[in-house]
Structure 1
Amino acid sequence: MQILGQFIRDLSFENIAAQKGVTSDGQPDIGVQVGLDARKRKADGQYDVTVKLKVEAKAKDSDAVIFGLELDYAGIFAIANVPDAQLHPYLLIECPRMLFPFVRRVVHDVTRDGGFPPLNLEQIDFMQLYRQQLAQRAQAEAAKAPTN
């Protein structure tokens, strides 16, 4: 694997507390949603992999949203000598692992620059996330299948 490039595809940060005058004492409840996407590029052996992150902080005492952050962070990868049967999990497990330190840094800096204590994301288990996505797809396909 070789990382040919990486970049922020989309970034949105809303300081709702400042806009609406919401105040909160203590630590907020932080919700993090992670999505992954991988696509083949036109060049042989090259793939786009995107980590999609949605973070929402809510006040514990009022459930009011304090801030929201959405980030799509992408990498361009050159991958060789990975069997076709293992390519899908490789793209959605190993590639995001390589991108995650940069995703973590962007979230840290944006929340700090947005007027909040820097948010340090915990490590994400991309293997578990991949398994969950496979299970969700299997359930969706089973729900669509006709029953006799």
Structure 2
Amino acid sequence: MTQEAPEPLVAYDHTDLVNRPKRIWNWGNIPLPGLLLPALGAAFGFGLVWLVTLFTVSAFMPVLGLSMWTSILYFGPPFAVYFVWGRPLPSALTLSQQLVVWADYWFQPKRLQGLAADREPENLHWQVILWTPGSPRWQARYDAARQAAAERGTAFSPRR
């Protein structure tokens, strides 16, 4: 008689996969801090625009030429964008998520047309419509459906 080994339990966590740092390097068995890919993409895009802008301006202002002292000006802001972009704000959103919420709030079609009043309703009321079927044809179908449900013993019509 052989005993089979029980299957190992596997749990999958699919929450916030995009914003989770990717641990792609290991030092022995120790995972090194990973990269936050959305922040890396934002820093790379900003860095390209920033470097092109600074190189263009440095053509007219030689004091901004790439040197040991101006390297902080050239490479500091893209590094800052990487660390700021992926860090959660007090609202628990990252900067990219907060920008999406901000853009959705300010660029709604109703807001752009001046039709969005940002105020709460003063009076709330409930309205209930009660309907009793009056048609004999509908009542016959309803009774037949209730009878079939009672025979099957559904949760809505228990067996008698």
User: In which range does the TM-score fall when normalised by the shorter chain?
Assistant: under 0.3
Q: Which of these two proteins has the greater Rg computed from alpha carbons?
A: 2
Bigger share in helix: 2
> What TM-score do the two structures reach when normalised by structure 1?
0.27
Which has the higher relative contact order, 1 or 2, with Cα contacts under 8 A spaced 6 or more apart?
1
Bigger share in strand: 1
